[in-house]
A = this chain, B = another copy of it.
Amino acid sequence: MARYREYDAVKRIAVLGTGTIGASWCSYFLARGYDVVAWDPAEGWRERLTAFIDTAMPQLRDLGTAVAKEGALVTADTPEAAVAEADFVQENAPERAPIKQELYARIDGAVPEQTIVATSTSGLILSDLQGGLGFAPRLVVGHPFNPPHLIPLVEVVLGKATDPGAGAWAHGFYGHIGKHAIYVNKEVPGHLANRLQAALWREAVNAVAEGLASVEDVNAAVAQGPGLRWALMGPHMVFNLTGGKGGMRATLEQFGPPIESWWTDMQITPTLTDDLKAKLIAGIEDEMGDRSIDDLEHERDTRLIGLLKMLRATERA
């Protein structure tokens, strides 16, 4: 890792693509004291970015994430100019390989020698994007979770051409700035967290498809039940506490066989037919009642901030 920058020497971060994910990253980096050079090709992007940051920064201050000396935002007219003096790059272009490949080709000569480039891609396989790039060894997946300025998780995935030292640098850097980075050791569609989410949703969709419960009751079956624990610990740690004093070993002995039999009973992969889609949409509309998407987003962010504050206040030393 010696050939990459010391974390304390990182002063300026380039953010390429400033949709929801990119704008959220900008806010986070600014709050953590980094100067941000942002670029986006869309018309009116500067105004939308500024509006996003104006909403996000008070949340980050409230949360205690923001440092005393926040960074400054600069905007660039080209991606080449954005990365030219960047100590780290976070790329958030649309999720289509040709778009990202074209962008990478443009910045290839401009990224400084020691600078790591992380892509926020959730759906693409990094190895498919590295061909022919001079900075391929320094290109890594740094996949955040929405909204990235609030949710700690960042998944770090290396492509075939990625230098392991560059992966380690990115993993360490995210931790250095207060995110929770994990390694996903293989390139699989959806990385890890989205696959876990898709696995839960598969069964949630099945429950509606098979008439086991209403959309609202399926939601409550998580949010009023096991979901309350998943905010505090992951699924393996939950099962570690299911076994009483005997921990995971006792859980596996006592609950392993019934859970394996449920798994056998849970082999159906639903098809999202028009009928099923209509059921899901109607069920959600029932549950929403008079609340708009904006109301729900506001409620989610308020509660997410409350949750993160509580978790921080109860962290063990």
Interface residue A229 (Cβ < 8 Å from any Cβ of B): yes
Q: Evaluate contact between A193 and B222: CB separation under 8 angstroms.
A: yes
Looking at the complex, which one of B188, B222, B307 makes contact with A310 (CB distance below 8 Å)?
Answer: B307
Q: Evaluate contact between B202 and A263: CB separation under 8 angstroms.
A: yes
Q: With a CB–CB cut-off of 8 A, which chain B residues contact A211?
A: 185-186
Q: With a CB–CB cut-off of 8 A, which chain B residues contact A219?
A: 233-237
Q: Evaluate contact between A314 and B310: CB separation under 8 angstroms.
A: no
Q: A203-234: which have CB < 8 Å to B? A: 203-204, 207-208, 210-215, 217-234
User: What's the least CB distance linking A287 to chain B, in Å?
Assistant: 7
Fill in one digit per residue for A101-121: 1 if any B CB lies within 8 Å of its CB, else 0: 000000000000000000000
Interface residue A33 (Cβ < 8 Å from any Cβ of B): no
User: What's the least CB distance linking A241 to chain B, in Å?
Assistant: 6
Fill in one digit per residue for A268-311: 1 if any B CB lies within 8 Å of its CB, else 0: 01111000010011011001100101101101101110111011
Q: Evaluate contact between A236 and B280: CB separation under 8 angstroms.
A: yes
Q: Evaluate contact between B229 and A304: CB separation under 8 angstroms.
A: yes
Q: Evaluate contact between A233 and B300: CB separation under 8 angstroms.
A: yes
Residues of A in contact with B, size category? 35 or more
Q: Evaluate contact between A266 and B223: CB separation under 8 angstroms.
A: no
Interface residue A146 (Cβ < 8 Å from any Cβ of B): yes
Q: A204-B196, A262-B189, A272-B252 are in contact. Are A223 and B233 (CB under 8 A)?
A: yes
Q: Evaluate contact between B215 and A236: CB separation under 8 angstroms.
A: yes
Q: With a CB–CB cut-off of 8 A, which chain B residues contact A316?
A: 291, 299
Interface centre among A211, A223, A236, A239 (most CB of B within 10 A): A236
Interface centre among A146, A203, A223 (most CB of B within 10 A): A223
Q: With a CB–CB cut-off of 8 A, which chain B residues contact A201?
A: 235-236, 239, 259
Q: With a CB–CB cut-off of 8 A, which chain B residues contact A193?
A: 221-222, 225-226
Interface residue A67 (Cβ < 8 Å from any Cβ of B): no
Q: With a CB–CB cut-off of 8 A, which chain B residues contact A231?
A: 223, 227-228, 230-232, 307
Bound together, the chains give a CA A234 to CA B229 distance in angstroms of 13
User: What's the least CB distance linking A254 to chain B, in Å?
Assistant: 10
Q: Evaluate contact between B284 and A225: CB separation under 8 angstroms.
A: no
Bound together, the chains give a CA A193 to CA B218 distance in angstroms of 8
Interface residue A136 (Cβ < 8 Å from any Cβ of B): no
Q: A269-B267, A310-B307, A314-B306 are in contact. Are A242 and B195 (CB under 8 A)?
A: no
Interface residue A51 (Cβ < 8 Å from any Cβ of B): no
Q: Evaluate contact between B226 and A196: CB separation under 8 angstroms.
A: yes
Interface residue A1 (Cβ < 8 Å from any Cβ of B): no
Q: Evaluate contact between B297 and A277: CB separation under 8 angstroms.
A: no
15 more contacts with CB within 8 A, not counting A196-B218, A232-B303, A240-B296, are A145-B225, A153-B220, A153-B225, A183-B217, A198-B259, A198-B266, A201-B236, A204-B235, A208-B236, A218-B234, A218-B236, A228-B231, A236-B280, A236-B284, A249-B277
